[in-house]
Structure 1
Amino acid sequence: MTADGIDVRNPRIVSAVKLHRAAQRRKTGLFLAEGANSVTAALETGRVRELFYSAAAATREHELIAGAAAQGVRTTLVSDRAAQALGETVTPPGLVAVCETLDVEPAAILAAEPRMLAVPVEMADPGNAGTLIRVVDAVGGDGVLLAGDSVDPHNGKCVRAAAGSLFHVPIARSRDVGATLDDIAAAGITILATAANGEVELDEADELFTGPVAWLFGNEAHGLDPVVAARADHRVRIPIRGRAESLNLATAASICLYANSRVRYRQQ
């Protein structure tokens, strides 16, 4: 290690950089959280194994780094080249935590008697996944259950888009969509699917939100498979009163989850 910190060839940096790959995350049970928001949230959960920081980050985030060290987290100064390798953005923040992965079992989420769940089906875009997790956190949702062949929530783009919320909301994954829907229904949760031609308009759906609800959101490119949408108790449409043809997934999910949250918290 030099006065500028350990360099990109250091074995610890090499091992951490490998966590950009999904296969390595699965193998090790570790992932990277980049930036002050994500690192702060990760430290609050006690899931940080190691914290790397650049000289610039040491000046900017000295309290955060000192707090991590006080928790017993190994904190290490790295060179600018190493910080660049650890980051995935054009201008990396120079603050990266190696964290334990966050997956919980779907059964654990359902056993907690959730009142509002998001269930993205075949979600492919990590940025959308992170945004959805952040929205669920913001509206007081109880979990995200990624169903089917969905993105890894520990993907760097997802972690950044979630802006710390990844550590606040229980997240589970299930490859079997049909079994997932069976389990949700067996837990007594009403299943709602977003659909452009849904029979229930969101403005008229308040009564559906008085009990526990799981929202199905479809793939960004193709929406929900009709077979999956048919499994829902109700299909809900968002009224579009302007000239927009449609809404993207993250926007539609935000609107639906807020509408649900408004009714839920008004009851309390």
Structure 2
Amino acid sequence: MSNPRADRVRDVAKLAGRPARLKTGRFVAEGPQAVREALLSHRADASAGGSGVVLEVFATEACLDRLPELAELSADVPLRLATDEVIAAMATTISPQGVVAVCRITDYALDDVLAAGAKLIAVLCEVRDPGNAGTILRAADSAGADAVVLTASSVDIHNPKAVRSTAGSLFHLPVVTGVSFDFLMAACRAHGLTVLAADGYGNVDLDKLQDESSVRRLAPALPDAPATGEAADDGAPEAAAAVSSQPRLENPTAWLFGNEAQGLTSAQLADADYRVAVPVYGRAESLNVGTAATVCLYASARAQNR
């Protein structure tokens, strides 16, 4: 393909806009990292009897010479050679890296995700910045979360900037979109998940929750460690016997992360089971929502995986 004004090129370029994505159920992944992860996901899904996620790949000859694995991974997907000008017309980045893939938007139902035994999910409540949304999704993937949920009014996770910021993690775990907050809360409670709201003014300290989780993990190895609720012997640490009404990070958990400017609403905070603050030891007023989400998700992941 050499004509950047061809109809097919324009059709792909239109997917940068939300109306075209909604109409076609497709989006574009740009760059070797995103396309590689999309193709790996496609292969895994196709091997399991699914229809796969990648519909077609466009790449320059130079890109395929540099990264021959992309051609190998595209064995079962239409792969079209294109000039640099065509790739530039399809992509939204200033300096595209020679490859784009048209992918199918996969719809996931929240009840199905939770019924599968989800232990950790990240919920984006009206998060509007695509970079922040992508960062949280990438952090959730790294922490081994089972799903990411975006409530109604959150950013479209399939817009080009959001897709790029996930660095391929968009293709690694279920992403549920457009969920109403009330439905989310009912579903989490029906499936036994504790709902924790990340709130800088919360009355529960994340460091304390991690300390208590560590004590519970180590308690069986302590000599004569008391059962929960019993008094500690003189030789056992007091913390091992402490009775706490605080949430347990090792339990199935849904973390709520709010809007960049306003945070979670008062109603959302009231509906959560606990409001948890990440302690700030320096002079910064607060943490960026993506950073706070990473800290919270890893705290749960550490407790759940040890």
Q: So what's the TM-score if we normalise by structure 2?
A: 0.82
Asked if residue 223 in structure 1 is aligned to residue 259 in structure 2, the reply is no
8 Å contact from structure 2 (residues 137, 166) kept in 1:
yes
Secondary structure, aligned partner of 2:249: helix
Runs in 1 of length 4+ with deviation above 2 angstroms?
Answer: none
The partner residue of 1:74 within 78, 101, 104 is: 78
- Provide the C-alpha distance between the structure 1 equivalents of 2:199 and 2:69, rounded to a whole number of angstroms: 47
Alignment of 1:13-162 (within 5 A): 13-46=9-42, 47-68=53-74, 70-71=75-76, 73-162=77-166
| Native 8 Å contact 2:33 2:168 kept in 1 | yes
Residue by residue over 1:25-63, the C-alpha shift from the partner in whole angstroms, topping out at 9 and shown as x without a partner, is 111111101111111111122211110012331322223
Deviates more, 1:98-107 or 1:187-196: 98-107
- Following superposition, the deviation at residue 103 of structure 1 comes to 2.6
Alignment of 1:185-204 (within 5 A): 185-204=189-208
Superposed CA RMSD: 1.2
CA distance in 1, matches of 2:277, 2:270: 14
Contact 1:102–1:167 (Cα < 8 Å) also in 2: no
Amino acid at match of 1:242: G
Partner SS state of residue 98, structure 1: strand
Alpha-carbon contact 1:199-1:237 (below 8 Å) kept: yes
Aligned pair count reads 260
Aligned counterparts of 1:258 and 1:142: Cα–Cα separation in 2? 13
Q: Residue 178 of structure 1 aligns to which amino acid in structure 2?
A: D
What displacement does 1:11 show?
A: 2.2
Amino acid at match of 2:11: S
Identity %: 43
* Shift in Å, 1:66: 3.4
Q: CA deviation at 1:246?
A: 0.7
- Uncovered stretches (5+) of structure 2, i.e. residues with no partner: 43-52, 214-247
> Which residue does the alignment assign to 1:261?
301
Of 10-19 and 127-136, more deviation after overlay is shown by: 10-19
Residues 152-205 of structure 1 show CA distances to partners (whole Å, capped at 9, x for unaligned) of 111111111111110001100134212211111111100000111111100112
Greater Rg, structure 1 or structure 2? 2
* Higher mean C-alpha deviation, range 58-67 or range 137-146: 58-67
Between 59-68 and 244-253, report the one with greater CA deviation: 59-68
Aligned partner of residue 284 in structure 2, secondary structure: coil
Gaps of 5+ in 1: none
Superposed CA offset, 1:112-160 (max 9, x none): 1110000010010111111111101101111001012111111111111
More deviation in 206-215 or 127-136? Answer: 206-215
Letter in 1 for 2:112: A
